[in-house]
Each structure stands twice: as structure tokens, then as C-alpha cells.
């Protein structure tokens, strides 16, 4: 582990600082998108960092070093864009969870994080980088199904999620609010509305919160949260959409869906990610107008439109986007 980073952790400080206006003198929004892509390797995807001006310009600014026969996917980044947690799988091995430091261009070793012989997927990171939440299959001490795990980067130990996991059903596809209080996840638990439902877990109260107004008789999957967990973006194949799977955005305070004009298409839209301020939403679409079979798109809720993203997509598949908005 990087010594300076470890020292900050041991002192009880957070090394993840959101850049201030002084670091961005124009006071304009700068977006960072992390995503997975097959652009450079047709068989194993890698992870890239793309910088966007919030209007119409952007470029790839960094990438995680690749390893032969290793697939890297589903990134999640700290609010300053420095640290990235992601899932990784060597050919013929089970998937693991890794953390990359974009500033030092190296992996950070976190003891016990991968102490399981079985698959570990879908990691997500709190805004300050303190907590990692991911889904594990048949992990020792848990059920023999998919369960959620909570790892404390500061203490380098696992912490409890009381009353969240169940022995008879799956809990998977977690997303965490930037403030760390709320965890959204997908479960096939009995008593739900559909085949799979999105649930929320309040870490302050240690309790699962059902949001029946959000779910449908179809499959509702891959949630994402804004900073305080009020806004829930997710994908659903429910009736009444534009076609295939669509992106939806639910406002928990207002108990209604927000309008997303021009976002969905007749093709599949999936894996949405909200910026902490809730303004920007990035997602994957299979629409014909894209550069490849699957492409990453960026949507501005304030402007109600898709933004140009030059250089973001390739002729191969681009997927698993996450977005952070820097001021």
C-alpha cells in the first residue's frame, strides 16, 4: 500500500478530497467517467478514465495497466477520481476485487479483501473511498448464495450489514450513496413486486427499506444512487418503456419517477450511473447510432439531453460506466 495513503488512513484522515474551485479556476464542471472497454484487446476488457467538460468536449486521460489474460470491468471511483475499485478475472479463475490508484499508477493491496475461493463481483465505492461494498458468492461465514460484503479500507477489515443478507435469496448488484449511508441492491426475495426488485438499506438504522413504488412485475436491476440516496437510477424491462430495457429515475422524497426526455431508445439501455449531485447520468446503450455494439452515453438532466462525447466509444464494446462530477 502507498505509505502516504496508509499514513492518512491511520491518522483517521480521508485521502479522498473533492477538488475545490481553486483547483478548477474557471469554476466549470469537469466530469470523470470510468468505464470498461474491449477497444485495445478483443478478448479481455480494460478500464479507462475519460475527462469531459460537461458540455461537448472530452478525451481519455488514463487507463489501468492491463495483465495478460485478465479481464477488468465494473469500475467505481472516488469523488476526486483518484481511486478506482473494480472487478477482475484471470482466465479460468474466479473474479476478485482490486483497487487502483490513478495518481501513483499502481494497485493498492488490501489484506483479506479477496479471502474467498468463490466469485466476488460488482464493487462500489463511497465518495470518500472509505468503504467498499460488493457481492460475493458462497463466501465463508455467509450464505451459499449471493450476499453483500462491506469492507472498511481504513481498518482493512470487514464490517457488518445487520439484517441485510438472507440465507434463501440473493442480494447483489450493490450501489452506495456518496455519503455512505444508503446501499441500493437487487434481490429476488419473496414478497417483492417482480422477478427481481431494487431495495435500499439504511446503514444508520441497520434496516432494509422497501420501495414498492419503484419496482415492477418485470426485472428491475443495476441501481445507482446520488450523494444522499434520494435519487435511484436503475434499468428495467417493464412494460410502457421505449423498447427492450430502459433507464428509470425514481425520486424517493417525491415518490415519483423523474422525466428523462431523449434518454431511452428502442434498443436496450442498461447499467446507469448517477453523479453525486444527480445532474449527470451515464449509461450503456445498444442503439444503432452508436460506434460499436454497446456504447457509453452521457446525459445532462438539467439540459434534458445527451451530451457529445468525442473519443469515448470505440468500434468494440464499451460498458460499465460510472461518473463523478468535479467542480
Q: What tens digit of pLDDT does each residue of 152-176 get?
A: 999 999 999 999 999 999 999 999 9
What domains appear along the chain, each with residue ranges and CATH number?
A: 33-326 (2.120.10.30)
Residue 281 CA to chain centroid, in angstroms? 11
φ/ψ (deg, to 5) at 231: -90, 130
Cα separation, 278 vs 275, in Å, equals: 5
Say what the pLDDT of residue 129 is. 95
Model pLDDT for residues 77-110, shown as the tens digit of each residue: 999 999 999 999 999 999 999 999 999 999 999 9
Are residues 90 and 73 in contact, defined by beta-carbon separation less than 8 angstroms?
no
Tens-digit pLDDT profile for residues 127-138: 999 999 999 999
Distance CA 108, CA 1 (A): 5
CA 78 – CA 193 distance, rounded (Å):
33
> What pLDDT does residue 327 have?
60
Report which of 294, 211, 292, 290 is spatially closest to residue 245, judged by C-alpha positions. 294
Supply the pLDDT for residue 309.
98
pLDDT band for 14, please (50, 70, 90 cuts).
Answer: very low
Q: Would the pLDDT of 8 be above 80?
A: no
Q: Which of 131, 154, 70, 62 is nearest to 102 (CA)?
A: 62
pLDDT at residue 326, rounded to an integer: 79
> What's the pLDDT score for residue 122?
98
**pLDDT mean across residues, the chain:** 91
**What does pTM read for this prediction?**
0.91
- Is residue 150 within 8 Å of 125, Cβ to Cβ? no
User: What pLDDT score was predicted for residue 186?
Assistant: 98
Are the C-beta atoms of 321 and 284 separated by less than 8 Å?
yes
Measure CA 217 to chain center. 24
Q: What is the pLDDT of residue 28?
A: 72
User: What average pLDDT score do residues 2-6 get?
Assistant: 40
Dihedral sign for Cα atoms in the order 51, 311, 241, 238: negative
Weakest mean pLDDT among 149-158, 222-231, 318-327: 318-327
Lowest mean pLDDT among 64-68, 74-78, 133-137, 189-193: 189-193
Amino acid at each position: 500500500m502507498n505509505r502516504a495513503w496508509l499514513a492518512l488512513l491511520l491518522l483517521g484522515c480521508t485521502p479522498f478530497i473533492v477538488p475545490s474551485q481553486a483547483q478548477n479556476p474557471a469554476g466549470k464542471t469537469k466530469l470523470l467517467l470510468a468505464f470498461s472497454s474491449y477497444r485495445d484487446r478483443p478478448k479481455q476488457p480494460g478500464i479507462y478514465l475519460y475527462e469531459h467538460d460537461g458540455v461537448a468536449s472530452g478525451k481519455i486521460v488514463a487507463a489501468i495497466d492491463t495483465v495478460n489474460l485478465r479481464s477488468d470491468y465494473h469500475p467505481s471511483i472516488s469523488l476526486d477520481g483518484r481511486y478506482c475499485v473494480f472487478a477482475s478475472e484471470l482466465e479460468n479463475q474466479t473474479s476478485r476485487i482490486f483497487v487502483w490508484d490513478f495518481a501513483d499508477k499502481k494497485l493498492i493491496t488490501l489484506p483479506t479483501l479477496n479471502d474467498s475461493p468463490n466469485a466476488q463481483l460488482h464493487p462500489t465505492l463511497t465518495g470518500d473511498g472509505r468503504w467498499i461494498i460488493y457481492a460475493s458468492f458462497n463466501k465463508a461465514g455467509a450464505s451459499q448464495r449471493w450476499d453483500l460484503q462491506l469492507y472498511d479500507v481504513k481498518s482493512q477489515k470487514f464490517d457488518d450489514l445487520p439484517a441485510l443478507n438472507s440465507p434463501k435469496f440473493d442480494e447483489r448488484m450493490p450501489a452506495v450513496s456518496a455519503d455512505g449511508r444508503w446501499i441500493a441492491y437487487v434481490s429476488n426475495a419473496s414478497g417483492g413486486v417482480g422477478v427481481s426488485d431494487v431495495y435500499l438499506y439504511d446503514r444508520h438504522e441497520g434496516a432494509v427499506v422497501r420501495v414498492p413504488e419503484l419496482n415492477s412485475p418485470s426485472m428491475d436491476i443495476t441501481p445507482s444512487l446520488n450523494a444522499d440516496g434520494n435519487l435511484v437510477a436503475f434499468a428495467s424491462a417493464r412494460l410502457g418503456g421505449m423498447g427492450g430495457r430502459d433507464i428509470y429515475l425514481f425520486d424517493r422524497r417525491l415518490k415519483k419517477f423523474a422525466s428523462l426526455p431523449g434518454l431511452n431508445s428502442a434498443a436496450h439501455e442498461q447499467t446507469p450511473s448517477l453523479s453525486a449531485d444527480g445532474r449527470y447520468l451515464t449509461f450503456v446503450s445498444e442503439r444503432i447510432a452508436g460506434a460499436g455494439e454497446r456504447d457509453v452515453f452521457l446525459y445532462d438532466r438539467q439540459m434534458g439531453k445527451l451530451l457529445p462525447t468525442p473519443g469515448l466509444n470505440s468500434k468494440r464494446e464499451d460498458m460499465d460506466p460510472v461518473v463523478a462530477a468535479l467542480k
